[in-house]
Amino acid sequence: MAESKTTITVSVNGTEHTCQVAPRTLLVDLIRDDLRLTGTHIGCEEGICGACTVTVDGELVKSCLFLAVQADGKDVTTVEGLTPKCGTSRLQESFRGNFALQCGFCTSGMVVAADALLRENPDPSEQEIKEHLVGNLCRCTGYLSIIDAVRAAANQEVTS
Amino acid sequence: MNAHDSHSPADSNTGPEPFVGQSVRRTEDLRLLTGQGMFTDDAVVVDPVYCAILRSPHAHARIVSVDTSRAQAMPEVVLAISGAEAAEHWTQIPAGMDLMDMKLPKVYAIATDKVHYEGEPVAAVVAETRYAAEDALAAIDVEYEPLPAVASVEDALGVHPFDAPDGPWSPKAVLYEEWGHNIQCDWAFEIGDPDAVFASAPHVVSCRPAAHRYSGVPMETRAVVAEYDAGRETLKMRVSTQLPHQSRTLIAQILGLSEPNVQVLADDVGGGFGNKTQVDAEVIPALMAKLSGRAVKWFEPRGDWLSSGPASRDYAHHVEGAFDNDGTLLAIREHLVGDEGCDGATRSAGLGALLVGGTYSAGPYHVRSYKARVQAVVTNKAPYGAYRGYGKETANLAIERLMDTAAAKLGIDPVAIRQHNLVREFPYEMAAGPIIESGSFSQLLDMVTEAMDLPALRLRQEQARAEGRHVGIGVISFLEPSAGSIPMSVFNGYETASVRIMPDGKAMVLSGLQGIGQGVETSLAQITADRLGLHPGDVRIVYGDTKAVPYGLGAYASRGATYGMSAVYEAAGEVRRKLLKAAAGMLEVDPEDLELGRGEVWVAGVPTTRLSVQEVARAVYLSPGPYATLPGEESPTLEANHVWTNPNVSWVPDEHGRVRLYPTHGSGAQGVVVEVDVETGEIQIEKMWIAHDCGKVVNPAIVHGQIIGSTVQGLGGTMFEQLSYDDQGKLLTKTLNDYQLPNIMSVPPIEVLHMETPSPITPLGTKGVGEGGCIGTPAVLLSAVEDALREFGVTVERTPLDPMRVRALVRNAPQTAPVAG
């Protein structure tokens, strides 16, 4: 017997979706499996690594700790939603210019989290960047290039 | 940092600036930054089912019975299978390595009669959703008969080998009854009569450096998407792996499939660090696809990764050094014992790391008398795998702690005793066999101490001590052997490349390497672009598809810059020769008069006489075709294959039993300043310095990123990360909350100093890079903490350097020092 399902309406990256979800479905599974937005990754399902970071109504959320039904009636933004139709955002370009990614698995969550920081604090200090990104783990870069990338994007001094 | 992604305008009469040596922006990044990467679980397949694996709650137990009937009856469950049922459909796991008389467990990917660690698979399920599959695990009934758990080397042998190297052993239990004991490999080697040197040496010092259990922990766990086509008897698998070809070989063998019928795909891999160099649980979803007839998706839950993924380190040295009065190192005796968990050769490949540790314990220092004994011991813990460093960090910890110990005992400055003993003439054949082909060890150590301003730091340290603060300084050297080539294993010593210019004048490179975050698409394109006169953006790098790429060996042992780049360089050189030959014919000049660059070929000094590479390519392939453009050429298209091997690899043991498994040797030096709070045991890392030399650098920004990244991994492992077990072999660190990865707050300022001493044995002068920070960081941190606690007279030999251990060191110190107040 399959689980009973609930109908929710959720806006993801500006597109409204009406979905049938089981009550225990995690937001990250709705995003990845049902909506096929696979930029959002699953690294731990414990809320530690941040690879699944998205925003819900502008607030940063670890979508592995958030039920899909909690997103009913809300606006969800993933890394795909932060990407311009053509090319990349200033922040994404700054990550590229500063070699702030290697394997790229954490990168989507990192970009979403950094983007949220710059929205509320356009000129963060190094300490503020660190405090803001402490919930996003990266195993490859050692973080220093990520700090550089966020600062460079804030300064609008994207290296070219 | 300066990044370039456009061709710099250049006078057409001079050759364009090469792309090799420039921080060309990474090709990989556009897709990865925009959420368009293709990690294994991102693949969409038709009508998938989801795999979940039931794992043993016991570290050591007999399986009495497994009943999957309740799970099988659940509505969304497609198939539930026990180890005994699975054994009818596959073979035991073939060993990834089999040398040095190592013992090999005979085990299936799902246990049949016995479990050897908490987390070993005992049954598997596929169901319509991941949720249903995980639910069904709870409905599988397994009856176990628990056995005594072997949770330590002492449990495994009854006595520590440092006290009784040859036993007699009295194990608490034996993991594999047919062995009769718990030693997977016992390897000994000596040269230069070390015992005699020790007997007459003015000074003998010894220490027992040791490291705890930790691992690579890539952000993407292991993952598989498997599709089996019964009509064609073909299996298509996406696998998060560093070794697509060897995975195909092993998976085909296990499932009894013809190897050409198996395709392994690995596009984007979310980190490897050595941890994805085996076939273990990966074969379970493949079998489930074959048996269920459905496409199967599996990604490993993080808790499963921590309980059953490849673990590393967990070793102890007893290393002795014989020294002359002036600090000259005369001989080394090294005894290395590793706690491998249940296996380091079949289910994963960590055993070789211990052999590397025993081989390289002289590090970058000159010594002619050398003796090593390596004992690899099995216990009831998860398998022992490869992890960044792969024994080079093990060796480094031994020699660098020995140098500090000797410096203190002989009253010599720790930097001076290192400088005194560093190898200065190259090529240098180590006593243990490897040939260090080139290096600038002494200069690297100078670079670090000058950047640190060591005299000023020592002054500051004295002032701090006067204030009751405990500042410590560590300085070490390290050797970074790269491109490991292990005979009788899936980690062999060659790489393939196929390079071709297409009719549109753009190039395609098929490489046996595997991308796992090192930027191989970018750096291989830089090399090819220079060879073929193209822009890197016009070079397409293909890897990670066994159906497209010649048999190659993938990503391990920092082999890309040695094997992978050299294979591409040579293949591209052959294409270049044919391209110039064809162009020369078309321009009616001699090939030697031609120059190549920016997508064009022209007559030197006559820039108006030129053809585009596209025009030449079109002529060779189609109009008029190869009969006219490359007459007499044996293989008359713009394509070439190359398999690169290295003469400095020697697999045949010489008269002393020595082999040479690493052809290239990077090196470096590291410094650190720490402050220890003796009240809380906390260590504040003020700053780190690292001078690094990996030969010719192809992409400086990528190399820089490898050095920083590996340093932070070394720091994390030394300070925070722990795979911690209780005395019953139960894992205590089952989540990332417990297994503390370094986060963005953990990282101190790191100053990197680069130098390039080209390797004479690679065509570009490159050496491997990527492991250096993991190799040197544990030793430099131990050194600095010991220095900080010098007035307590403590020896700092073991990791982790967590507050508990630091407090214990201070509490149990032989001397009491004034405590900071």
Q: How many CB atoms lie within 10 A of CB B138?
A: 11
Residue B202 has pLDDT above 70, yes or no: yes
Q: Which residues of B touch A141 (CB under 8 A)?
A: 705, 708-709, 712
A22 occurs within a structural domain: yes
Question: What pLDDT score does B816 carry?
Answer: 67
Q: What percent of chain B has pLDDT over 90?
A: 94
CATH of the domain at A150: 1.10.150.120
pLDDT tens digits for range A3-60: 799 999 999 999 999 999 999 999 999 999 999 999 999 999 999 999 999 999 999 9
Domain B312-486+653-811 in the same topology as domain B29-37+494-644: yes
Q: Which of A85, A105, A117, A159 to mutate to test the interface with B (most CBs of B within 10 A)?
A: A105
Burial of B763 (0-12, 13-18, 19+ CB in 10 A): middle
In the β-sheet with B750-755, what is the strand arrangement from edge to edge?
B470-482, B664-676, B683-693, B750-755
Domain boundary among A62, A81, A100: A81
Residue B9 has pLDDT above 50, yes or no: no
Burial of B345 (0-12, 13-18, 19+ CB in 10 A): buried
Between CA B279 and CA B92 the distance in angstroms is: 11
A 22-81 residues inside an 8 A Cβ radius of B:
22, 24-25, 29, 32, 36-46, 48-49, 51, 78-80
Cβ distance of A44 and B735 shorter than 8 Å: yes
Q: A140 near A101, Cβ under 8 Å?
A: yes
Cα distance from B713 to chain A (closest Cα, Å)? 7
CATH topology of domain B29-37+494-644: Aldehyde Oxidoreductase; domain 4 (3.30.365)
Cβ distance of B35 and A42 shorter than 8 Å: no
> What is this model's ipTM?
0.97
pLDDT band at B4 (very low <50, low <70, confident <90, very high): very low
Position B39, amino acid: F
A133 occurs within a structural domain: yes
Spatial CA neighbour of B564 closest among B577, B553, B550: B553
A46 occurs within a structural domain: yes
Q: Which of B219, B736, B774 to mutate to test the interface with A (most CBs of A within 10 A)?
A: B219
Where are the extended beta strands (E) located within chain A? 6-12, 15-21, 53-56, 59-62, 75-77
A113 occurs within a structural domain: yes
pLDDT tens digits for range B686-704: 999 999 999 999 999 999 9
A1 occurs within a structural domain: no
pLDDT band at B6 (very low <50, low <70, confident <90, very high): very low
Beta partners for residue A21, in sequence order: A6
The larger pLDDT score, comparing residue B656 to residue B71, is at B71
Q: B510 near B498, Cβ under 8 Å?
A: yes
Q: Are residues A57 and A39 in the same domain?
A: yes
B169 alpha-carbon distance from chain centroid: 33
Residue B8 has pLDDT above 70, yes or no: no
The domain defined by B217-308 carries CATH number 3.30.365.10: yes
Out of A103, A134, A142, closest to residue B271 by CB: A103
Cβ distance of B220 and A48 shorter than 8 Å: no
Contacts of A142 (CB under 8 A, 6+ apart): B705, B708, B709, B710, B711, B712, B713, B747, B750, B773
Q: In the structure encoding, which two tokens stand for residue A145, read together? A: 């290039």
Return the residue matching tokens 């709870």. B138
Between CA A38 and CA B267 the distance in angstroms is: 14
User: In the predicted model, what is the mean pLDDT of residues B479-507?
Assistant: 96
Omega before B800 cis (within 30°)? Answer: yes
Q: Which CATH number fits domain B312-486+653-811: 3.90.10.10, 3.20.20.70, 3.30.365.10, 3.30.360.10?
A: 3.30.365.10
- Measured CA distances, B620 to B617, B623, B625 (Å): 5, 7, 5
Q: Give the DSSP H/E element, type plus range, for residue B123.
A: strand B121-127
Q: Which residues of A touch B744 (CB under 8 A)?
A: 129-130, 133-134, 136, 138, 143, 146-147
State the first-to-last Cα distance of chain A, in angstroms, to the nearest integer. Answer: 57
Number of domains within chain A: 2
Q: In the structure encoding, which two tokens stand for residue B497, read together? A: 């490349």
Nearest residue in B to A152, CA atom? B1
Question: What pLDDT score does B817 carry?
Answer: 56
Cα distance from B265 to chain A (closest Cα, Å)? 16
**What phi and psi, each to the nearest 5 degrees, are found at residue A150?**
-70, -40
Q: Which residues of B touch A49 (CB under 8 A)?
A: 219, 302, 736, 741
Nearest residue in B to A147, CA atom? B744
Q: How many CB atoms lie within 10 A of CB B523?
A: 29
Cβ distance of A140 and B37 shorter than 8 Å: no
pLDDT tens digits for range B381-404: 999 999 999 999 999 999 999 999
- Overall size of chain A counted in residues: 160
Cα distance from B134 to chain A (closest Cα, Å)? 13
CATH of the domain at A33: 3.10.20.30
Contacts of B791 (CB under 8 A, 6+ apart): B465, B470, B815, B817
Q: In the structure encoding, which two tokens stand for residue B224, read together? A: 């598989």
Q: Are residues A72 and A13 in the same domain?
A: yes
Q: What angle do CA B316, B317, B321 make, to 5 degrees?
A: 165
**What phi and psi, each to the nearest 5 degrees, are found at residue A10?**
-135, 140
Beta partners for residue B750, in sequence order: B688
pLDDT tens digits for range B205-236: 999 999 999 999 999 999 999 999 999 999 99
pLDDT tens digits for range A46-100: 999 999 999 999 999 999 999 999 999 999 999 999 999 999 999 999 999 999 9
Question: What pLDDT score does B656 carry?
Answer: 84
Question: What pLDDT score does B2 carry?
Answer: 41
Out of A25, A48, A148, closest to residue B737 by CB: A48
Question: What pLDDT score does B10 carry?
Answer: 39
**Any B CB within 8 A of A95 CB:** yes
Between CA B59 and CA B307 the distance in angstroms is: 10
Out of B35, B708, B709, closest to residue A79 by CB: B35
Domain boundary among A37, A59, A81: A81
Q: How does strand B329-339 pair with strand B183-191?
A: unpaired
Q: B272 near B223, Cβ under 8 Å?
A: no
What percent helix, strand, coil does chain A show, rounded to 5?
35, 15, 50
Contacts of B12 (CB under 8 A, 6+ apart): B598, B602, B607
Q: Are residues A100 and A71 in the same domain?
A: no
Cβ distance of A139 and B217 shorter than 8 Å: yes
Contacts of B82 (CB under 8 A, 6+ apart): B66, B67, B68, B110, B122, B123, B140
Q: What percent of chain B has pLDDT over 70?
A: 97
Omega before B168 cis (within 30°)? Answer: yes
Range of the domain at A49: 6-81
Q: In the structure encoding, which two tokens stand for residue B136, read together? A: 């069904």
Cβ distance of B705 and A140 shorter than 8 Å: yes
Question: What pLDDT score does B12 carry?
Answer: 42
A26 occurs within a structural domain: yes
- Please report, for chain B, the start and end positions of each structural domain, with discontinuous segments joined by +: 29-37+494-644, 217-308, 312-486+653-811
Domain boundary among A64, A81, A98: A81
Q: Which residues of B touch A79 (CB under 8 A)?
A: 33-35
Cβ distance of B26 and A96 shorter than 8 Å: yes
Position B628, amino acid: A
- Helix axes B454-466 and B441-452, enclosed angle (nearest 10): 50
Q: Are residues A68 and A16 in the same domain?
A: yes
Q: B392 near B354, Cβ under 8 Å?
A: no
Question: What pLDDT score does A155 carry?
Answer: 87
Q: Which residues of B touch A27 (CB under 8 A)?
A: none
A42 occurs within a structural domain: yes
Cβ distance of B744 and A133 shorter than 8 Å: yes
Out of A42, A48, A139, closest to residue B271 by CB: A139
Out of B35, B268, B742, closest to residue A80 by CB: B35
Residue B168 has pLDDT above 70, yes or no: yes
The larger pLDDT score, comparing residue B102 to residue B658, is at B102
Q: In the structure encoding, which two tokens stand for residue B814, read together? A: 């032989």
Q: Are residues A11 and A76 in the same domain?
A: yes
User: In the predicted model, what is the mean pLDDT of residues B244-266?
Assistant: 98
Question: What pLDDT score does A2 carry?
Answer: 61
Nearest residue in A to B38, CA atom? A38
Spatial CA neighbour of A103 closest among B717, B509, B298, B276: B276
Looking at every residue in chain B, the average pLDDT score rounds to 96
Q: How many CB atoms lie within 10 A of CB B147?
A: 19
Q: Are residues A69 and A20 in the same domain?
A: yes
Q: What global pTM score does this model have? A: 0.96
B188 alpha-carbon distance from chain centroid: 24
Out of B128, B130, B741, closest to residue A137 by CB: B741
**Any B CB within 8 A of A128 CB:** no
